Amino acid sequence: MRIGIVGLGVVGLSTGVVLAERGHEVVGVDIDQGRVQGLQCRRPPIYEPGLEEALNRNFERMKFSTDYSSLSDAEVIFITVSTPTIDGRIYLGYVFDAARKIREVARGVIAIKSTVVPGTARKVKEITNLKVVSNPEFLREGNALHDTESPDRVVIGSDDKEAGDLIQELWSFTKAPVIRTTTDEAELIKYAANSFLAVKVSFINEIANLCERLNCDVNVIARAIGLDKRISPYFLSAGLGWGGSCFPKDTLAITSFARDVGERLRIVEAAIEVNQERPFRALKLLKEVMGEVRGKTVCVLGLAFKPNTDDTRESVALKVVNLLRQEGAMVIAYDPKARSDVEMVTLDECITRADGVIIATEWDEFRGLEPKLRGKPVVDGRRVLDPAKMGQEFRAIGLGVR
């Protein structure tokens, strides 16, 4: 099939390379000229494991352009542009701009993969007069290609059976269960899924707070409750909270959307509140082991919002950095991939120069650092260290004083 993709971020590129790998002809369009030029030279604009290799393998079936007219003969056009939250509300301008430009040149079926509030697909249909399917994406950064090829489920929201069938056929190679719904339902499924996961993490983080008071270990609690199949062990790691390009913006978007239609999502609102407290928690624990941080050097290990990505969007680590600076600390940092305006040093230098250390992202290379860290004030914000191997000046999320 001839496939168009509008918006060449992690979702657009993953969709593109995975479909090209299945033999489809893919044209990717983006308004960012630098991004398109890079891709034309086989350079992806983001770090994602396997993406560059997949791009190279399938390069002959992939074209990149800033010109929408290259979508003219696409049978399916995926909209994968970003949908940021501005002032607590979803901004759909990029989706509607894309729709208007598509209308001028193309006749194919539109499949919206961007996360959008219910009613958006119906509006895109009004704008374009084309068939519009809602086909939300559930991929995790760092696992984007795997999740696109082997999703837990494929959700296809369509008010037009034929258009829905076409998109279902396109993803049939995944062998994933298919859920056919209305477009509104498909849009809501995506928010319900992300909100539930955010709630789950905030829940275990509140149990972690309690554990710190009681000298219990949240990991023990999580393991025990996770064995109940109704709860499941996934997304139960206590830490400094959730960040990234999805959960923070999606939880805000759906709670404000719900209020707009006259309902409240109180549990999701509480999850957001719990999450906003997490960086303060890290600082509180650090002060317990090193006193005031003013004038001292603090090393933050990990800046990315989670391991295996260079993405720092809404990263809790950066919020911790800002808090430390506000408190008058001098901050240095090490991250294997991510960069920021903090002074970046090597892992060894970071540890040697620091008066205190906060582990903010659970990169694998931070495991086993106990011998180097022992004796320094350390806060393990992501539970990567073995507390038994650490000394007195050690605190970990959800552990209490041992």
Under the rule (CB under 6 A), what is the footprint of ligand UDX? 137-141, 194, 197, 201, 235-237, 239, 242-247, 305-306
Q: Are 22 and 33 in contact (CB under 8 A)?
A: no
Q: Which is nearer to ligand UDX, 16 or 243 (CB)?
A: 243
Minimum distance, C-beta of residue 8 to ligand UDX, in the bound complex (Å)? 17
Give the Cα separation of 402 and 392 in Å (integer): 8
SS3 content of the chain, % helix, strand, coil (to 5): 45, 15, 40
Q: Are 333 and 354 in contact (CB under 8 A)?
A: no
Q: Which is nearer to ligand UDX, 68 or 242 (CB)?
A: 242
Minimum distance, C-beta of residue 143 to ligand UDX, in the bound complex (Å)? 8
Nearest to 325 by CA among 313, 335, 317, 314: 317
Q: Which is nearer to ligand UDX, 363 or 394 (CB)?
A: 363
Minimum distance, C-beta of residue 116 to ligand UDX, in the bound complex (Å)? 13
Minimum distance, C-beta of residue 28 to ligand UDX, in the bound complex (Å)? 20
Q: Which is nearer to ligand UDX, 64 or 191 (CB)?
A: 191
DSSP 361: S
Minimum distance, C-beta of residue 337 to ligand UDX, in the bound complex (Å)? 14
Q: Outline where DSSP puts E strands in 304-386.
A: 330-334, 343-344, 356-359, 378-380
In this structure, what are the phi and psi dihedrals at residue 301, rounded to the nearest 5 degrees? -95, 110
Give the Cα separation of 106 and 103 in Å (integer): 6
Amino acid identity for residue 78 in this structure: F
Chain position whose Cβ is nearest to ligand UDX: 246
Q: Which is nearer to ligand UDX, 45 or 108 (CB)?
A: 45
Q: Are 245 and 314 in contact (CB under 8 A)?
A: yes
Give the Cα separation of 322 and 328 in Å (integer): 10
Token pair of 64 as six digits: 């990149």
Q: Which residues are catalytic?
A: 246
Q: Outline where DSSP puts E strands in 2-65.
A: 2-6, 25-29, 62-65
Q: Which is nearer to ligand UDX, 242 or 366 (CB)?
A: 242
Give the Cα separation of 157 and 134 in Å (integer): 5
Give the Cα separation of 350 and 362 in Å (integer): 16
Minimum distance, C-beta of residue 375 to ligand UDX, in the bound complex (Å)? 28
Q: Which residues contact 146 (CB under 8 A, 6 or more apart)?
A: none
Residue 77, beta-bridge partner list:
4, 110
Q: Which is nearer to ligand UDX, 187 or 293 (CB)?
A: 187
Minimum distance, C-beta of residue 304 to ligand UDX, in the bound complex (Å)? 9
